[in-house]
Structure 1
């Protein structure tokens, strides 16, 4: 009887450790500049203003066999906002918009990930910006995965969503065409 219990316990431990091995952990490749957090917002309804956050980091776990068990966490340094125009960046970092002196970090932490059979899906999570946390959803696509030339293993995703600025206490009047900002998250992860 003791031998049966021991064999059952060992078998259960092997199954659990095999599951843990399959759920690989990845660090977002910001050092190699293979990840981006971009934004765009309409300028007066006539064109688009594009920008990005130059400094951010994050981690995620992913298993192609169980993609819906994935999780992601991203930290964004809001002081690194870059719209390719120094004076505009100063204004966007100021009290009218991001108020980076008071809120130097934005974060996203997933609460649910659902993939379809075609490697597209949705990631829902808590996004904190300007001191306000709200649940948002990114439409996502898996770009690909595999070995890299340096002996590592990588996987890449992209996702986009639209945020209403006033939901985050940003009420500066940019006109009726500029009430929302589109956020794009383009990540390549290196397996740890």
Structure 2
């Protein structure tokens, strides 16, 4: 099914907002945010008129380690009491083909806003068994956590630091046409 213009809402039951960070110089920690919402207004004829907005509940962070998750919620990292959400608002959407796009926008974490560009792979559009039109996609970008005031780190005995500064963000999305 060809991509269709319209308003789409990210289906949180069938989507994932995840991240990866280097840990102890030798491995990676993966996590996700379990509470988020996003609205995409897509114009097939004029993709440059398309928009996307997303809100992530910072408290919903989950790395499968409660102690680490609580530390990530603290002022050392996200300070979720003062900054309960992360926000993304697109400033430009470019469709290279029916399978590829770039979405540039402003990402706000810890009250600090920086521009980011997401590389998007579009897997297509289909009607599900309940008659809903869905678009499947994967989006990814990398950010430097220190750009958002997340400076916590600790030296490790073998040299280097406990945490890498580069964070890979990944969104596996299923968006439902409204």
TM over 0.5: yes
Moved over 4 A (4+): none
1:89 aligns with 2:75: no
Residues in 2 aligned to 1:68 and 1:186: alpha-carbon distance in whole angstroms: 22
What do you get for the CA RMSD once the two structures are aligned? 1.5
Aligned pairs, how many?
Answer: 169
Other-structure match for 1:61:
41
Gaps of 5+ in 2: 155-160
Bigger CA radius of gyration = 1
- 2:6 aligned residue (1, 24, 27): 24
Q: Which has the higher helix share?
A: 1
Deviations 1:145-183 (A, max 9, x none): 021111111112211111101100111125286011111
**In terms of mean alpha carbon deviation, does 140-149 or 78-87 score higher?**
140-149
Q: Which has the higher strand share?
A: 2
Deviation of 1:64 (Å): 3.6
- 1:186 aligned residue (172, 175, 178): 172
Q: Is the alpha carbon distance of 1:45 and 1:135 closer, same or farther for their aligned partners in structure 2, counting shifts above 3 Å?
A: same
Deviations 1:114-133 (A, max 9, x none): 12125212110010001101
Gaps of 5+ in 1: 1-21
1:164 aligns with 2:164: no
TM-score by length of 1: 0.83
Residues in 2 aligned to 1:122 and 1:158: alpha-carbon distance in whole angstroms: 11
2:23–2:162 CA contact under 8 A, matched in 1: no
SS in 2 for 1:76: strand
2:99–2:124 CA contact under 8 A, matched in 1: no
Other-structure match for 1:42:
22
Which protein, 1 or 2, shows the higher relative CO under an 8 Å CA cutoff with sep ≥ 6? Answer: 2
